[in-house]
Homo-oligomer: A and B are copies of this chain.
Amino acid sequence: MSEVKAYAAQSSTADLKPFDITRREITEEDVEIDILYCGVCHSDIHTVRNDWKNAKYPSVPGHEIIGRVVKAGKNASKFKEGDLVGVGCMVDSCQHCDSCKEGLEQYCENGATYTYNSPDEHLGGHTFGGYSEKIVVDRKFVLQVPENLDIKAVAPLLCAGITTYSPLRQWNVKKGDKVGVIGLGGLGHMGIKLANAMGAHVVMITTSPDKSQDAKKLGAAEVLISKDEKEMDKHKNSFDFLLNTVPVGHDVNPYIALLKRDATMVLVGAIEPLDPIHGGGLIASRKRIAGSLIGGIEETQEMLDFCGEHNIVSDVEMIDIQNINKAYDRVVKSDVKYRFVIDMKSLKNS
């Protein structure tokens, strides 16, 4: 075991501050990683502030981790010192349930071990995330990062990237499909880039007309302002797929109206209750709503390789760890384009 520097919150109302945590020595299965960059996901804030009523303290968030391998266990020989690697939302799962066997560790029937705030079966207590110098992770949950990418901007791919990539792939989005991305934030901006790279005709659907120009720069062919009923009417029954990234409960009925017969809207953000859905809107054209949670490890690797090939990274604003609390306030106000990434070098100064 070793003590490493980290940033943690001690309660739901406390700011994040320097805090030393313990990391395990690597086992034969493990990889030890020096963390270079860590993205800031809205889930970090929900956890630290106990919005989901399941926070554990001290809370060290961070599940968009990019780093370099320091040491690899005997059975982790795929990795060697210096390799550029990533760790996303999960660090373990049961490996024997049907979901795990299908490579869908995020749906592990015995509960995946999340990168933070999950029971830690090695050290007891709970897992600590990426706002720290180092992390030790089972080899099966370590991703290989293409070296050609701007690596600090790769960090958000580990959560925002895979969360949007997985449903686009699972629902077979293909060249020429008309795909709507609802909501332009951390998830939405990745949705646009990825759907565009898959050859889709991407329509950014937003309440804010002032996001139009940005959306087009990111790869949207069109922007649809959801408050404009006339424009919404024109697009009725025309979408092959909708990726709904809105992170809170909202009225999805106007979006259901946009779907073609047999088409699906996938929710990736709203874990809260939605406004009442009109059954008739689904029945009238056999429309579908589904949810999707991040992606499996194999699919996450596929996503990273896809991003390497298509030169896709996240749009990021770099911060030092000392500014994390201010960054949280800005994330809550949606005042970031589109993801904060912590330069973990800054932790040395704490």
Residues of A bordering B, CB below 8 Å: 99, 104, 107, 109, 170, 237, 249, 261, 264, 267-293
Of all chain B residues, the one with the shortest Cβ separation from A99 is: B261
Whole-angstrom distance between the alpha carbons of A291 and B237 in the complex? 15
Instruction: Please determine whether B277 and A104 come into contact, CB atoms closer than 8 angstroms.
Output: no
In the complex with contacts A99-B261, A104-B261, A278-B272 CB distance below 8 A: yes
Contact among B237, B264, B292 for A109, CB-based, below 8 A: B237
Instruction: Please determine whether B279 and A276 come into contact, CB atoms closer than 8 angstroms.
Output: no
Instruction: Please determine whether B275 and A276 come into contact, CB atoms closer than 8 angstroms.
Output: yes
Residues on B with C-beta less than 8 A from A170 are: 286
Of all chain B residues, the one with the shortest Cβ separation from A275 is: B276
Top 6 A-B residue pairs of the complex, sorted by shortest distance between their CB atoms: A282-B291, A283-B291, A271-B280, A273-B276, A270-B279, A288-B290
Whole-angstrom distance between the alpha carbons of A211 and B284 in the complex? 30
Instruction: Please determine whether B271 and A274 come into contact, CB atoms closer than 8 angstroms.
Output: no
Residues on B with C-beta less than 8 A from A282 are: 267, 289-291
Whole-angstrom distance between the alpha carbons of A277 and B170 in the complex? 22
Whole-angstrom distance between the alpha carbons of A170 and B286 in the complex? 10
Instruction: Please determine whether A286 and B280 come into contact, CB atoms closer than 8 angstroms.
Output: no
In the complex with contacts A104-B261, A107-B261, A261-B107, A284-B276 CB distance below 8 A: no
Instruction: Please determine whether B284 and A293 come into contact, CB atoms closer than 8 angstroms.
Output: yes
Residues on B with C-beta less than 8 A from A270 are: 279, 283
Given contacts A268-B283, A274-B277, 5 further A-B contacts (CB under 8 A): A104-B261, A249-B276, A267-B282, A272-B279, A276-B276
Instruction: Please determine whether A280 and B272 come into contact, CB atoms closer than 8 angstroms.
Output: yes
Residues on B with C-beta less than 8 A from A284 are: 107, 291, 293
Residues on B with C-beta less than 8 A from A288 are: 264, 288-290
Residues on B with C-beta less than 8 A from A286 are: 107, 170, 290-293
